[in-house]
């Protein structure tokens, strides 16, 4: 119970407000509408068009992805669906783009660039975390306080900091999270004691992994407000950074005592990733983190996520619990809209 | 999208003549060396020569992955009739845009001499000294010492005119330094081997970088050999940068400066191509070389010019 309260305390004020959720949705909606308006969607749809007409006109190849935009626009009464055709609901002007206050410049630029990539995605061309300015912007965005808050919530919800053994941070990005987790254990005095904790950090994107690896000392020193020499002196305890995917973890069965992911599984083939995480987890091990389970992940954000090849999108909590249970979990729980979760393996 | 092309155009830094060459044609340049990604750009250094009436002009230039000229590393002239005047004992003083340092607080004279190619880089040299004569005398002394000793002392101590000079030698080069006091002696002793052996196969010395190094040493005698090696070898420091995200430069600078304050001073002009990193290091920020290189690494890892 106390752990649940602790998790909520970190999250309150971050994601629970209805106004904030509306603000986030309207922001992503405006970006999507403006991108497809520039593409000529709403000029074409002044006259009712079938899906096939739209695909042929713009050279689109991804029917499913197109349908999801059409459904979202119909739901928001931007388009009208009649007799299997789509037409505009009046004149569609440029939507005002108002980024939510908690969004920094990095994440705003990521979303701006992502919106511009929607037409290509409809033609089957995906984006990556390293496209154009994405490495710079993701590195910046991952410093956001909201990521720190949900990470703290995940740790408060579990007894991870009391556990020992091999720890895996999946989707470590630029390593700021890995450095923060390493710092949590450092503050507990783990690296000066007989307790054994070895952190492994996994990232698929080469550019972000390079930042994580080469800037670990800088990041940890900054987060802990200590001189870099303090971190350098603990080199034997530094994390091991590994390139790989969550779907095919490059580790042997039951190697880890703890596995952590935060807002990562929706970027992967969610079922395969969940199953492989359970494979590398020891019996009695803890799998925990955060995931914006459906319906808390806004449908427009989900469409932006799916610009990346292989990204699953919003995961239903029930599906997630079923996958982990099938893979050997004895207990699976989740709290808060940020989807703070913990799974124990038998 | 940038369309790669193989003809690169630039102006000779010596005479200003427009030049072009085919980067795919190995006979069109003297040498070529490729580099790691720099701020997301793939850069290659070419040495290209053209002849005028009595001399040959050699330009060392940086070219990007699309074949566009990105900047000069250096340029110099050679006499056409006898490029290596081995018999007349003369040395040609390597001239470039950066001026010779007249004198520093700790160093009165610093010359790097190529024994094989007979050039001199006069890094620190008062205008009343004849660098070519000093080089001739110093190489004589080194050759004399090599006959006398089985292993030549490093440094070898000698006296030329009224100057006490220490000389560090390799088969190809001699570094001669006359100190005004002893404060930089041990630092230069620890770095000299790198200076006389670094890029030994290159006939062109990195004059500007040597000037930068001596400038840094005046404020920080603790320059590490690894940093010295880096300064000596990073041709990319001469490249003019270009980003396709011009409208985002102020945002990039602001966000980077939040972590590296020096970015606020130098990153904007760098990303706009108004200055190069070597210009920055030659300026009044040379003492902040560590911050500058950390910033370079930080931005480079984020590939904002890719």
How high is the pLDDT of residue B202?
A: 57
The full set of domain ranges for chain A reads: 10-137, 147-345
pLDDT at B279 over 60: yes
Would you say A257 and A217 are in contact if contact means Cβ atoms under 8 Å apart?
no
Q: Does the ipTM exceed 0.85? A: no
Task: Give, in order, the Cα–Cα distances in Å from A226 to each of A129, A139, A217, A218, A230.
Answer: 31, 22, 10, 10, 7
Q: Distance between CA atoms of B117 and B123, rounded to whole angstroms? A: 17
C-beta neighbour count of A345 within 10 angstroms: 20
Partner-chain residue, chosen from A109, A140, A210, that has the shortest CB–CB distance to B301:
A210
Instruction: Give the residue with greater pLDDT, B100 vs B37.
Output: B100
How high is the pLDDT of residue B83?
A: 46
C-beta neighbour count of A113 within 10 angstroms: 17
pLDDT at A321 over 60: yes
Rg (CA), chain A: 22
Would you say A274 and A240 are in contact if contact means Cβ atoms under 8 Å apart?
no
Burial class (CB in 10 A: 0-12, 13-18, 19+), A111: buried
pLDDT at A4 over 70: no
Percent of chain A with pLDDT over 90: 77
Would you say A143 and A176 are in contact if contact means Cβ atoms under 8 Å apart?
yes
DSSP reduced 3-state for A19: helix
C-beta neighbour count of B15 within 10 angstroms: 13
Q: Of B28-37, B188-197, B198-207, B264-273, give the lowest mean pLDDT range.
A: B198-207
Q: Where in chain B is the domain with CATH 3.30.450.30?
A: 92-221
pLDDT band at A196 (very low <50, low <70, confident <90, very high): very high
CB contact under 8 A, B302 and A214: no
Q: Of A165-174, A258-267, B74-83, B106-115, give the lowest mean pLDDT range.
A: B74-83
Choose from A103, A108, A120, A133 for mutation: most chain B CBs within 10 A: A133
Q: Distance between CA atoms of A100 and A344, rounded to whole angstroms? A: 36
CB-based contact, B123 to chain A, within 8 Å: no
Average pLDDT, chain A: 92
Percent of chain B with pLDDT over 90: 26
How high is the pLDDT of residue A298?
A: 87
Mean pLDDT of A299-314: 91
pLDDT at B194 over 70: yes
pLDDT at A237 over 90: yes
Give the predicted TM-score (pTM) of the model.
0.79
Task: Give, in order, the Cα–Cα distances in Å from A115 to each of A27, A28, A127.
Answer: 11, 8, 11
Instruction: Give the residue with greater pLDDT, A19 vs A212.
Output: A212
Superfamily for domain range A147-345:
Vaccinia Virus protein VP39 (3.40.50.150)
How far B44 CA lies from chain A's nearest CA (Å)? Answer: 22
How far A7 CA lies from chain B's nearest CA (Å)? Answer: 30
Q: Tell me yes or no: is domain A10-137 CATH 3.30.980.10.
A: no
Choose from B302, B303, B304, B306 for mutation: most chain A CBs within 10 A: B302
CB-based contact, B20 to chain A, within 8 Å: no
pLDDT at B86 over 60: no
CATH architecture, domain defined by B92-221: 2-Layer Sandwich (3.30)
pLDDT band at B85 (very low <50, low <70, confident <90, very high): very low
- Of the candidates A139, A333, A298, the one whose C-alpha atom is nearest the C-alpha of residue B303 is A139
């Amino acid at each position: 119970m106390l752990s649940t309260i602790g998790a909520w305390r970190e999250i309150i004020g971050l994601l629970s407000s209805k106004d904030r959720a509306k603000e986030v949705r309207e922001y992503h909606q405006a970006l999507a509408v403006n991108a497809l308006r520039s593409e000529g969607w709403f000029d074409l749809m002044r006259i009712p068009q079938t899906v096939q007409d739209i695909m042929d006109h713009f050279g689109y190849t991804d029917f499913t992805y197109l349908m999801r935009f059409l459904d979202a626009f119909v739901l928001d009464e931007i388009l009208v669906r009649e007799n299997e055709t789509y037409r505009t609901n009046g004149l569609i002007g440029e939507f005002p783009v108002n980024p939510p206050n908690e969004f920094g410049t990095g994440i705003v630029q990521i979303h701006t660039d992502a919106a511009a990539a929607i037409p290509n995605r409809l033609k089957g061309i995906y984006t990556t975390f390293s496209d154009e300015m994405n490495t710079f912007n993701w590195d910046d965005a991952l410093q956001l306080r909201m990521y720190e808050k949900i990470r703290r919530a995940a740790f408060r919800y579990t007894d991870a900091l009391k556990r020992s053994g091999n720890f895996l941070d999946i989707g470590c990005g630029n390593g700021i999270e890995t450095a923060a987790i390493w710092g949590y254990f450092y503050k507990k005095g783990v690296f000066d004691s007989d307790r054994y904790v070895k952190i492994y950090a996994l990232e698929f994107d080469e550019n972000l992994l390079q930042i994580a690896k080469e800037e670990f000392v800088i990041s940890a020193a900054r987060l802990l407000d200590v001189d870099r020499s303090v971190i350098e002196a603990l080199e034997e305890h530094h994390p091991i950074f590994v390139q790989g995917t969550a779907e095919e973890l490059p580790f042997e069965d039951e190697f880890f005592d703890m596995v952590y992911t935060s807002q990562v599984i929706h970027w992967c083939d969610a079922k395969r990733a969940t199953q492989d995480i359970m494979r590398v987890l020891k019996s009695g091990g803890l799998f925990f983190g955060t995931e914006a389970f459906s319906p808390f992940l806004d449908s427009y954000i989900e469409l932006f996520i799916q610009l990346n090849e292989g990204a699953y999108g919003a995961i239903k909590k029930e599906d997630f619990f079923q996958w982990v249970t099938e893979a050997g979990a004895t207990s699976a729980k989740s709290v808060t809209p940020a989807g703070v979760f913990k799974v124990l393996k038998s | 999208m940038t369309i790669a092309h193989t003809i690169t155009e630039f102006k000779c830094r010596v005479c200003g003549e427009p030049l072009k060459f085919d980067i795919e044609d190995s006979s069109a340049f003297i040498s070529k060396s490729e580099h790691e990604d720099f701020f997301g750009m793939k850069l290659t250094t070419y040495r290209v020569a053209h002849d005028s009436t009595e001399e040959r002009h050699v330009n060392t230039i940086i070219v990007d992955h699309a074949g566009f000229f990105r900047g000069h590393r250096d340029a110099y002239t050679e006499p056409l009739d006898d490029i290596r005047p081995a018999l007349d004992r003369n040395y040609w003083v390597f001239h470039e845009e950066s001026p010779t340092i007249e004198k520093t607080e700790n160093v009165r004279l610093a010359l790097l001499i190529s024994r094989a190619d007979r050039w001199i880089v006069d890094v620190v040299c008062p205008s009343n000294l004849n660098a070519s004569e000093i080089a001739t005398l110093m190489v004589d002394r080194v050759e004399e010492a090599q006959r006398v000793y089985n292993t030549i002392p490093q440094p070898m101590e000698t006296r030329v005119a009224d100057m006490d000079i220490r000389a560090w030698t390799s088969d190809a080069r001699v570094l001669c330094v006359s100190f005004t006091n002893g404060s930089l002696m041990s630092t230069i002793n620890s770095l000299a081997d790198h200076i006389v052996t670094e890029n030994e196969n290159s006939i062109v010395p990195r004059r500007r970088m040597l000037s930068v190094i001596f400038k840094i040493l005046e404020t920080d005698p603790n320059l590490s050999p690894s940093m010295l090696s880096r300064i000596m070898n990073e041709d990319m420091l001469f490249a003019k940068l270009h980003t396709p995200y011009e409208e985002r430069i102020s945002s990039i600078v602001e966000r980077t400066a939040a972590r590296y304050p020096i970015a606020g001073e130098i990153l904007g002009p760098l990303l706009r191509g108004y200055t190069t990193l070597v210009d920055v290091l030659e300026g009044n920020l040379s003492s902040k070389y560590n911050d500058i290189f950390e910033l370079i690494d930080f931005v480079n890892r984020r590939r904002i010019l890719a």
